[in-house]
Structure 1
Amino acid sequence: MSPDLPLVVPSVTAELVGALPPRLRKRLDAGVAKLAARPAVRDGDTVRVAVDDETDVVLHAPGGTVTSADAIRCGCLLAPDCLHRAAAASAAPIADDTPDGATDADQAQPATDSTDTTTAPDVATAGDSNSDTGTTAGDSNSDTGTTAGGANSDTGTDTATPEQRTAAHAVHAAAAAVLDAGTDGAGAVLQAELLRAAHAARLAGLPRASAAAVSVVTRVHAARAAAAGHRLAELAGALAGVLGVAHRVPRATGPDLAELRGTVRQPYRPDGSLRLYGLFSEPVLTATGYAGAVTWTADADGRLYTVSDVAPGGPARATGAADRAVRIGDTALTHRQLSRAGLAVSGATVSPTGRLGTGAAVRAVRASGAAWRAEPLDRLWAVPVGDQVARALDGGQDLLFLEVTLTGTLRETAGDCLLADCAGVPVRLATAHDDPALPYRDNLRLLAAARGSRLRIVARLVPGPFPRALLLAAEHPVDPAARVDLGLDWLQHADLPTGTVPAPLVAAAGEEAPLHLLRRRVHQAVAGGRRVLAFSRSGPGDGTRLRRAGLATAADLLDGLHGAAADRSRDAFGRLLPADTDRFARAWLAAALYTDAAERALCADAWGATAAAAPSPGSGRGPGLVPRR
């Protein structure tokens, strides 16, 4: 993915790649790599890439987005049926395929992930945007007595239409092909097939499946480009999400189907007047080419709201967005200032995930803020830790408001993290992002020298067998009335208590439950494809170890995953037949869903929380921003 190129909607890439003859498809990946390495020159709405001394590819992107195949032109002799146009579309970042007619104020922010970025999850859910209608693709039509998805009002049932079932099967088949090849083998052709299926799903009234498929392609882009923000676990989660949704749509009915269909636009509801208090700001820097900042606020009842500024960009935009004015009303507050001050909003509109709308009717002025240890923000830290974790695991917002004592530094394979005591629970506090342009890692190293300090912090839960969270903001080590946004503010040695010494470094203990044996194979399949598992079976050792730990289901799923990967039939002449990608995808999805559910159960036990029904990929239940009351 080249950040110098404009956004290209999925249907354009799918059309251009689909028009290539087989001989050019084989050369497409090489063409993408070559074009991505060439400089791009932007002139207004036009971006020009010099393929060689005599040939240019020109992308016309009004508003920053290429919306038709005719907007990509090439000067070579084979144009318009050349390789260069398809390579340019494949190398460009993927745009949100939002329907025409959406206003600027209603455009959705890009989806962000709790581990991929330093952002709040669900700044906007993938494929969602603000909407005045608030209807889903499956909502009923009062005039005809049928739903948009083809429900029959006479029988009272709502089932997927034939077009939706066909589109869901196409998405599942394309995603299964990507999984079968792995990121190493999922080149531009396979990515384009998944984008084609995503576009068909959107046209069939399945915006959620469409958005999930596009999310997979953007992460495959990042993986193949070795982007700094790429996380294999997030790509695995995205694949599990799209496979889960596509698998369930043809069989779902009623409210479950409406949830699986999703909404084309995210409804914003009027919320009257709000008095908000700034909590903290965090930078956004995703592996999919978006950057900016998100500021978290709370009202007097402890409900959380966010103000975001996210757009295509890199580290410079992530660090600079904090000093840009928030886009609500006429306020001149920057995100950094809002995180310490307050906001009075009239005519407010709020999404289901707590994001404040920025419509023309919204008015906002600066107001006084509140300290973390003063009302009303103090009540966020008064909620028992177990209840906060249970809320997050049950699909609520995953921010944790903790009071901890720093006790040392823990060495893990992924890097060092802080070890802190939280009401008797040893918590591992890791950096939210490793990009050197952001101060997270440097701040964590300095805080490690403040051993014994008792601080209030804000962190994001990381489900796992040990209590673990990503550190986002903290009280100042020597001034409890001040606070530090660890992704934006740079701590200095002078900010530490006098007489501090480096915290002791200890090695991480091994996992009590060897669930990592299954999780490792799930991730290996995503990276290397089916063939990696077909030739890497380690015999009965892993399965035996899982069964000894009481994880018999995990052992059976591991055996089934290896069996599906190695299963290749032969024809009457002894020649290998094509692999059953559908069977392998089902076995992999079962292993991924089990691993996710088991990790959440272990997480609840580690934090002393009441285990709740964990949301799984494709279930439609994800982290929200407004705590349930």
Structure 2
Amino acid sequence: MTFPAVSPQIVAAVLDQLPQRLRNRVDNALAKASSWSTSTVDDKCTVTVDPDTTLVFTLRDGILATDEDLTCSCLLAPRCLHRAVAVSLAPVAALEPVVVEVDEPVASLSVSLPEDAVAAADLLWQAAGVVLRAGVSGSGAVAQAELLRAVHAARLAGLHRASAAALRVVSGIRASHTGSSSFSRTKTTEDLSELLLVCHQLRAGVGDVESLLGIARREYKAIGSLKVYGLFTERVVAGSGYAGVVTHLTDADSRLWTVNGVMPGGPERVAAALDGPVGIGESGLTHRTLGRSGMLVTSATASADRRLGAGTGVRAVASRGVDWSDPPVSSLWREPVEDQVRRAFTTDNALLFLSGTVAGSTGGSLVVELPDRTIDLVGSCDTAWENLSLLASLAGKDLFVVARLVPDRPSTAVALAVTGDLTLPADWGGRVNLTLDRLQRSHVDKAGDLADQPPPPPVPSPVELLERWLHRVTLGGRRMPAIASTAPDQARLTKLGLTGTAQLLAALEASARAEHRDAFGKPVPHTDDEFILAWLRGCVHTTEFTRSTALSAWLAG
């Protein structure tokens, strides 16, 4: 069953009303919700617990905004387990930045950090520290509620980047507890380390404050008239509860633009967004057609990340598209690969425009040989994986690809769209949106044997030994490096010449084993930051080491 989304502060508010004896029983009671049933009519969601007990969600704009809007018919309400279980299992609402249309540049806000922002960063740091010490497996409903309470305070203080990272951490914890296939220990480790790193820098007063705060208002500024040509459309399903499609475009100056079709929802929203109208003017285009045609926009507006806006004064009409082999689109493939890679590593634009020869399939990836290097193209969803497997039969033939660089995997990119020696339907415009279109055998001329070649032996990262311990801490908490020695892995890292990495692993174990006792010699809970900082240093080290080695591999060819 699925509960409606709730605001972050709701979880803490509901659990605060429980007496302590019931707070300790929330985690054990979560399994009982599997027998509950829901029905939604307009803005009311009714949850039937048993014949005598019902919960009612009164929704505002599709979410539960206050704890008073959740009522229960049992005698203990509102201090009952039913309400606590419901909000503990419900998805947490993720808010998008406010959209503001402006004609003139607005004055920059002050970047000095007020006291309430520092206090909110400290509250997030403490709540995230509790999660790290307990691990994902030990972070129950109470720990999640405290982190969500800190998220609410962070939003009020303007810490948008940190609060978004914290929401992703909570989503990861809940996915783990429910056994969802969406849980990734790597992704949860990244989210938790970003949350702690941002909070640490805000508390210490170091780094670019504007970047650390994040975006609260997406400002769309007037850019005049613009003629754009569709490149491709990709599927988007975010862990924060948003789904849909994004269409990528270019103009005569080879600048890249996007049109967003992402809304709150799950994977079921993708098909509706793909065939839904483009929200710019009244062009009559859908995202499916825009990705293969063109559009002339007058009084256009765009955000700093070149997302086209849909203000009331914007006008748009459909225009003819351009093949990838024709100007001005073809100029995107003339940029040297080295320059594209440097741009992908140093800016938010990670798209690569590559042309090469298909060399087959290896270990689930499509191998493409460029003039001076070989790259692996991987998929981001089942449809993309199936398409890449079919494209492997084009061995020896040329392929033009749009892909997104994977910064932590050398010579690897996520394939998004392709064109080449294919027999495609006329309305596909000669290109394949790998995450949305589904190739057939008839589309591939003289399709050969699709069997994968044996994958090559994996080449582990030199810092993988440290990375494994960091992931173990994410899952199991502080006790993981305390119950097993890291000495063998330290010795292996030292033998590889990575003495600094070995020292970071040693510091992680030492901080995990450190004991604190009261005046009577009894152990007391750990509240110091040394363990958190040791884990965070390890995360930063592995991230930067992996990115630098991946960049070197790309540039080496």
TM-score between the two structures when normalised by the length of structure 2: 0.93
Letter in 2 for 1:24: L
1:262 aligned residue:
214
1:485 aligned residue:
433
Letter in 2 for 1:588: W
Higher helix share: 2
Superimposed CA distance per residue, residues 55-108 of structure 1 (whole angstroms, 9 cap, x where no aligned partner): 1111011321211111111111111121222222222221235xxxxxxxxxx3
- Structure 2, unaligned runs of 5 or more: none
* Residue from 373, 381, 393 that aligns with 1:425: 373
**What is the correspondence of 1:434-513 to structure 2 with a 5 Å cutoff?**
434=382, 439-479=383-423, 482-498=430-446, 500-502=448-450, 505-511=453-459, 513=461
Q: CA deviation at 1:537?
A: 2.8
1:10 aligned residue:
8
* Residue from 262, 287, 290 that aligns with 2:242: 290
2:59–2:65: 8 Å Cα contact kept in structure 1? yes
* Residue from 165, 171, 181 that aligns with 2:124: 171
1:583 aligned residue:
530
- SS of equivalent residue, structure 1 residue 51: strand
Over 3 Å counting, the alpha-carbon distance change for 1:305 and 1:588 in structure 2 is same
Q: CA deviation at 1:290?
A: 2.5
- SS of equivalent residue, structure 2 residue 50: coil
Superimposed CA distance per residue, residues 14-59 of structure 1 (whole angstroms, 9 cap, x where no aligned partner): 2112222221222222334433652221100111111112111110
1:555 aligned residue:
502
Q: Does 1:599 align with 2:551?
A: no
Superimposed CA distance per residue, residues 429-460 of structure 1 (whole angstroms, 9 cap, x where no aligned partner): 111124xxxx1222122112222221011111
1:192 aligned residue:
145
% of aligned pairs identical? 39
- SS of equivalent residue, structure 1 residue 366: strand
CA distance in 2, matches of 1:134, 1:606: 44
Q: CA deviation at 1:503?
A: 5.7
CA distance in 2, matches of 1:386, 1:43: 55
CA distance in 2, matches of 1:139, 1:206: 17
1:179–1:529: 8 Å Cα contact kept in structure 2? yes
**What is the correspondence of 1:385-424 to structure 2 with a 5 Å cutoff?**
385-411=337-363, 416-424=364-372
Q: CA deviation at 1:606?
A: 0.8
CA distance in 2, matches of 1:134, 1:92: 40
2:101–2:311: 8 Å Cα contact kept in structure 1? no
CA distance in 2, matches of 1:410, 1:401: 21
Over 3 Å counting, the alpha-carbon distance change for 1:503 and 1:543 in structure 2 is same
2:99 aligned residue:
130
1:352 aligned residue:
304
1:48 aligned residue:
46
Over 3 Å counting, the alpha-carbon distance change for 1:287 and 1:227 in structure 2 is farther
Q: CA deviation at 1:469?
A: 1.1
- SS of equivalent residue, structure 1 residue 80: coil
Over 3 Å counting, the alpha-carbon distance change for 1:348 and 1:363 in structure 2 is same
Superimposed CA distance per residue, residues 188-224 of structure 1 (whole angstroms, 9 cap, x where no aligned partner): 2111111111111222232332222223222322333
CA RMSD of aligned residues (A): 2.5
CA distance in 1, matches of 2:153, 2:233: 38
CA distance in 2, matches of 1:365, 1:511: 51
1:234 aligned residue:
187
Q: CA deviation at 1:139?
A: 5.0
TM-score between the two structures when normalised by the length of structure 1: 0.83
Letter in 2 for 1:129: V
- SS of equivalent residue, structure 1 residue 370: coil
1:627 aligned residue:
none
CA distance in 1, matches of 2:42, 2:528: 45
2:37–2:48: 8 Å Cα contact kept in structure 1? yes
CA distance in 2, matches of 1:260, 1:43: 41
Over 3 Å counting, the alpha-carbon distance change for 1:343 and 1:537 in structure 2 is farther
Q: Does 1:536 align with 2:484?
A: yes
* Residue from 365, 384, 388 that aligns with 2:336: 384
Q: CA deviation at 1:337?
A: 0.8
Q: CA deviation at 1:609?
A: 6.8
Shift >6 Å, 4+ stretches: 133-138
Q: Which has the higher contact order (CA 8 A, sep 6+)?
A: 1
2:325 aligned residue:
373
Letter in 1 for 2:431: R
CA distance in 2, matches of 1:245, 1:470: 27
**What is the correspondence of 1:92-107 to structure 2 with a 5 Å cutoff?**
92-97=90-95
* Residue from 359, 363, 367 that aligns with 2:315: 363
Over 3 Å counting, the alpha-carbon distance change for 1:501 and 1:401 in structure 2 is same
CA distance in 2, matches of 1:279, 1:90: 42
1:122 aligned residue:
none
CA distance in 1, matches of 2:57, 2:420: 48
Superimposed CA distance per residue, residues 368-405 of structure 1 (whole angstroms, 9 cap, x where no aligned partner): 11111111111111111111111111133111111122
- Structure 1, unaligned runs of 5 or more: 98-107, 109-127, 141-146, 150-157, 611-629
1:449–1:502: 8 Å Cα contact kept in structure 2? yes
- SS of equivalent residue, structure 2 residue 235: strand
CA distance in 1, matches of 2:421, 2:537: 45
Letter in 2 for 1:444: L
Q: How many residues align?
A: 553
- SS of equivalent residue, structure 1 residue 464: coil
- SS of equivalent residue, structure 1 residue 269: strand
Over 3 Å counting, the alpha-carbon distance change for 1:45 and 1:476 in structure 2 is farther
Q: CA deviation at 1:573?
A: 4.2
CA distance in 2, matches of 1:81, 1:178: 25
Letter in 1 for 2:257: Y
2:367–2:375: 8 Å Cα contact kept in structure 1? yes
Letter in 1 for 2:406: V
Letter in 2 for 1:544: A
Over 3 Å counting, the alpha-carbon distance change for 1:86 and 1:504 in structure 2 is closer
CA distance in 2, matches of 1:333, 1:533: 56
- SS of equivalent residue, structure 1 residue 406: strand
1:451–1:503: 8 Å Cα contact kept in structure 2? no
Over 3 Å counting, the alpha-carbon distance change for 1:212 and 1:136 in structure 2 is farther
1:341 aligned residue:
293
2:58 aligned residue:
60
CA distance in 2, matches of 1:319, 1:170: 40
